[in-house]
Amino acid sequence: MNTIQTGFVPLTREEYDKLGRLLAGLLRTKHTPVIIPGEAILGIEAIAASIAAPGRKFLNIVTGPYGTLFGEWLERGGAEVEELRVPFDEVVTAEAVEAAIERSKPQAISFVHAEVVTGGSNPAAAILEAARRHDLITVIDSVSAVGGEELPIDEWGADLVAIGAQKALGGPNGVSAVAVSPRGWDYIASNERAPRSSILSLLDLKPPGEGEAFRVPPYIPTLEARALIAALEAVAAEGLERVIRRHEAAAEATAAGLRALGLEGWQRDASRRSTLTTTVRIGGEERLKIEQPIGIVAPGDGELRGQLLRVNHFGANASRVGVETAIKTLAGLLQIDAAQAIEAVRAAWEARL
């Protein structure tokens, strides 16, 4: 019997438009986001390349390594960068942001929303409120926050927001998105250095207006785009609020398990921990210094290696079973019984959901 070979089917305009609608709904924006043909770090670098220029001044908040990297990209583009940095076991406060804005008088402000490397979550709504008072262009790396925390970008007045699919959304890492407000597009368009005919060009990828002729960019990865559509449909079916609550429950249950094991969280302010990743302070406990991930328990990255462990309870692992497995892993490393900690996990999970 002959097999019919259908071959590769490119992403259709209907699929492209559907993906744009799903992303806009997820972010609660009326403006179709830019679909980025790669992992979210590409979208973040594209933002920096599109807005950085001599004569532009940015306040860049650094609460982890990605904030440092974004500031370097802004400086590479010729921008002046004022840095507001805090220790990586803390997050920034709204009061510190307000004071830094008053002191440095920037045109724009940038920050990472949730830090999976450090396990902290910056007060995004409060930062954006301060930015609005001073009429600043706002740039947010919400790659690790989307789906795990509230992200109503039109309500918040955010101008450029990068998101990824591989964390809370449970999607692929080969395609991502950048949401851009009308004011954000004007800021990009006014920059003579904004790239064109480049993988870093947001202008080249700008979604079409109503009735505007448009060809789906052929370099958008088709299989990843279809996988993202499926992931976003799954989020919609579960309900975004429910997905966020599930991640909140995972964070609270993990914290309860850590307390029962006698372990200390890395983030000093427990109220500002990320809902996607709980970080564990190693201190002098040599048994917690692992070289490779064990399930969703992973060593720290870069300068934080040997200082903390990360429990990556996001996506499908934002579940009671996922948290319990991680707590058993930590108990095994410590060579102690996990029973009491598992009871604490279950009590915290049931109280939340």
Q: Which residues contact 239 (CB under 8 A, 6 or more apart)?
A: none
Residue whose C-alpha is closest to residue 129's, from 138, 120, 116 = 138
The tens digit of pLDDT for each residue in 137-168 reads: 999 999 999 999 999 999 999 999 999 999 99
DSSP per-residue codes, 220-283? S-HHHHHHHHHHHHHHHHH-HHHHHHHHHHHHHHHHHHHHHHT--BSSS-GGGB-SSEEEEE-T
The tens digit of pLDDT for each residue in 176-204 reads: 999 999 999 999 999 999 999 999 999 99
Token pair in block for residue 232: 């976003």
Q: What is the pLDDT of residue 210?
A: 79
> In angstroms, rounded to a whole number, what is the distance separating the alpha carbons of residues 217 and 201?
12
> In angstroms, rounded to a whole number, what is the distance separating the alpha carbons of residues 280 and 348?
18
CB neighbours (10 Å) of residue 262? 10
- Domain range list for the chain: 13-237, 240-352
**pTM tops 0.75, yes or no:** yes
**Which amino acid appears at position 248 of this protein?**
E
The tens digit of pLDDT for each residue in 212-269 reads: 888 899 899 999 999 999 999 999 999 999 999 999 999 999 999 999 999 999 999 9
Q: Quick check: 60 and 71 in contact, CB under 8 A?
A: yes
The tens digit of pLDDT for each residue in 304-329 reads: 999 999 999 999 999 999 999 999 99
Band the pLDDT of 5: cuts 50, 70, 90: low
Q: What is the pLDDT of residue 156?
A: 97
Looking at domain 13-237, which CATH architecture does it have? 3-Layer(aba) Sandwich (3.40)
Q: Quick check: 94 and 130 in contact, CB under 8 A?
A: yes
CATH entry 3.90.1150.10 includes domain 240-352 = yes
Token pair in block for residue 241: 């609020």
Strand, coil or helix: 282 = coil
Instruction: Tally the residues of the chain.
Output: 353
Specify the higher pLDDT residue, 34 or 302.
34
